[in-house]
Amino acid sequence: MTIRRSGHRYRDVSTGKTLDVWFPLADTPRKRSCLAEKVGVIAGDIVDVTIESLDAPPASTEEAYLRLHLLSERTVKPNEINLDGIFGLLPIIAWTSAGPVLPANVDDLRERVAADYHHLTVPSVDRFPRMTDYVVPEGVRIADADRVRLGAHLASGTTVMHEGFVNFNAGTLGEAMVEGRVTPGVTVGKNSDVGAGSSIMGTLSGGGKQRNAIGERSLLGANAGIGISLGDECIVEAGLYVTAGTKVKLPDGTIVAARQLSGQSGLLFRRNSQSGAVEVLYTDASRWGGLNASLHGNG
């Protein structure tokens, strides 16, 4: 599939390096403006970007930004496109209140914008910007926009609470509550809840090959974590971290590594409060009641 889009690019004036590109949904040439451009630290222009194949890795910063937009626009889903080498294509940027600049230029920018009575702030120094500065998908709620990176995929009906975090090439596939960490490569199915303080091991962890996911109508309890996938109607007890190597006791007394249960549906993982052993029981989503429908209309 060939993708062609027009975007507005910012470049560093002294080096010519591309800093970022914004691709408006309407795909008509539109310009942005910011104080960093006004005072001559960066320059903006319209750029046409063509991706011949999303299966091939990105070849430029401009291509990398378009791929991140496609994810956040929900044109593609996580793990459907090639993002190999993206870190090397995204420069580290000081995301300032006056616009994106190279970190070495922050002090110069601060001095230049003083004449406009602008108090410069720098919310982050990172390769990835906030998603909402580029794409605002319909039907979602995000309590703290700093915690959702460009390249996150948030399905309609998703709520990301203040302590929730969604990285690039990760996200939700239906209505969901995110109060924990959804890391690269991870997807969360419809009507599932990622509890407060919980985490899911992604493709940037360990060997970087395992793609973990949570199915539909599942609950990852508060401060829990998984290094395996959960199928549909699964529950992980609050505070329990289940890695691939965790020894789990089945209802018949058999002991297996948790990786053998990865992706299976209808399982409740819990720690025996007396013996400390991790156990699994067969269950269904009615054990926790599912999502509160009134919280996820987001219309």
User: What whole-number distance in Å separates Cα of residue 171 and Cα of residue 73?
Assistant: 12
**Closest-CA residue to 7 (of 57, 56, 73):** 73
Q: Is 12 helix (H, G, I), strand (E, B) or coil?
A: strand
Q: 75: alpha, beta or left, given left = phi > 0 and alpha = psi -120 to 50?
A: alpha
The two tokens of residue 188 are: 């969360």
The two tokens of residue 87 are: 């870190």
Q: Which residues contact 42 (CB under 8 A, 6 or more apart)?
A: 10, 11, 12, 13, 19, 34, 36, 99, 100, 101
User: What whole-number distance in Å separates Cα of residue 257 and Cα of residue 184?
Assistant: 24
**Whether residue 179 lies in the annotated active site:** yes
Residue pair 238/222 in contact by the 8 Å Cβ criterion? yes
CA 292 to centroid of chain Cα atoms: 23
Catalytic annotation, pick one of 37, 62, 179, 233:
179
Phi, psi (degrees; rounded to nearest 5) at 250? -80, 165
Q: State the catalytic residues.
A: 179
